[in-house]
């Protein structure tokens, strides 16, 4: 097995570990949100409001769209 094969194998292992960590984080986030959807939605709205204020309303449409997408994720 050459050096490139070793590198490829290690890279594949890292990708697999990253996927596992990502899935664990998603599961933990879902557990934290469960039963608190209204509070999380309110926090998303507040964050969007602050971002809009900080940008002087220059990106309102994008901020609102991002906030809506974040709230849509709560339904999943």
**Which tens digits make up the pLDDT trace of 10-52?**
999 999 999 999 999 989 988 999 999 999 999 999 999 999 9
pTM listed for this prediction: 0.69
Predicted local confidence at residue 34, as pLDDT: 93
Predicted local confidence at residue 2, as pLDDT: 87
The Cβ-side half-sphere exposure at 47, using a 13 Å CA radius, reads: 13
Predicted local confidence at residue 75, as pLDDT: 79
CA nearest neighbour of 44 among 13, 7, 73, 2:
73
Predicted local confidence at residue 11, as pLDDT: 96
60-to-2, 15, 17, 46 alpha-carbon distances in Å? 53, 36, 37, 13
pLDDT classification of 1: cutoffs 50, 70, 90: low
Structure-token pair, residue 20: 């596992």
State how far Cα 11 lies from the chain centre.
23
């Amino acid at each position: 097995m050459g050096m490139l094969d070793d590198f490829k194998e290690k890279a594949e292992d890292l990708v697999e570990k990253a996927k596992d960590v990502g899935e664990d984080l998603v599961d933990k986030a879902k557990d934290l949100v469960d039963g608190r959807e209204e509070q999380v939605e309110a926090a998303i709205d507040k964050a969007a409001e602050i971002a809009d204020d900080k940008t002087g309303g220059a990106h309102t449409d994008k901020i609102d769209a991002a906030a809506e997408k974040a709230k849509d994720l709560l339904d999943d």
